[in-house]
Amino acid sequence: MSERPRITVVGAGNVGATCAQVLAQRDYADVVLVDIKEGLPQGKALDIDQMGAVLGYEPNVSGSNGYGESAGSDVVVITAGLPRSPGMSRDDLVQTNEKIVGSVTNEVVSASPDAILIVVSNPLDAMCHVAKNVSGWPKERVCGMAGILDTARFSSFIAWDTGSSVKDVTAMVLGGHGDQMVPVVSHTSVGGVPLRKLVPEDRIQAMVQRTAKGGGELVELLGTSAWYAPGAAAAQMVDAIMLDEKRVLPCTAYLEGEYGIDGLYMGVPVKLGANGIEGIVELDLSDDEQQALQASAGAVREVVGVLST
């Protein structure tokens, strides 16, 4: 029996499978891929395992239609739920995915009572509330993946616009995971040089707008939600927790007064380590950014208000 730690990814669709693939390549844990569709998680797990022979990692991904194999997981990533289709708002997804995420969370709590939960299902901020309410777990152990993805999109656009390496871009996107997300331009730099010294304001605002609508841009092109960057972003959060990296990453966390927001899941910079969310980092925001964050909070509250619980 393996002594490696265990990570479970619920939902063997494109995002879940990509997350499992990235984690398999990191090669420090066993990964269990769970999905209700017979054959799907088993087949994707087998395929990822066989890739290990080519890329040089140990084949330790298994697929399951139940939660028995996932028991005792350290981290559980929930990607289950319907993806967006063209023309569908995130809010349309609320009631359908509330039922799915609620039932998954119940299963996870039974099988892995000490796990840390990372929610990826949309609408992200509202689904974090569902997972927290259903699990009854402390806020430190229930968080969401959105900010890393939004920041990755913003960073990509900045790198292309400035002709720079994406490795030298430092950016941060806060707020709800929707059209009212808040790219924090005042804390964005390339190689330590503030973005506003490199790029005129109109080009910055174009990048900000493209970032906010980044998910929609991909839905229009693909006919469904993106998966490579979201899967990798979820895996980065797993790494930070499992390897106790104490990374400061933008994640969806439950706020109790931070940034002047109370009782709401919002995307903010957090310190992510073995205990989950080990601290919330409060940036000094410009007045415009603070106003935009409050507006984003209002939009999230509206979606959360649609929940039945």
CA neighbor of 16 nearest in space, from 37, 33, 38: 33
Q: Which of 84, 132, 177, 247 is catalytic?
A: 177
Predicted confidence at residue 178, as pLDDT, reads: 82
Question: Residue 172: is its pLDDT beyond 90?
Answer: yes
Structural domains for the chain:
6-144 (3.40.50.720), 147-304 (3.90.110.10)
Q: Please confirm, yes or no, whether 177 is among the known catalytic residues.
A: yes
- Give the span between the Cα atoms of 184 and 298, in whole angstroms: 18
Predicted confidence at residue 93, as pLDDT, reads: 81
Neighbours of 164 (CB within 10 A): 16
* pLDDT tens-digit series, residues 89-123: 666 789 889 999 999 999 999 999 999 999 999 99
- Give the span between the Cα atoms of 45 and 236, in whole angstroms: 19
Mean pLDDT within 267-291: 97
Predicted confidence at residue 230, as pLDDT, reads: 97
Predicted confidence at residue 2, as pLDDT, reads: 53
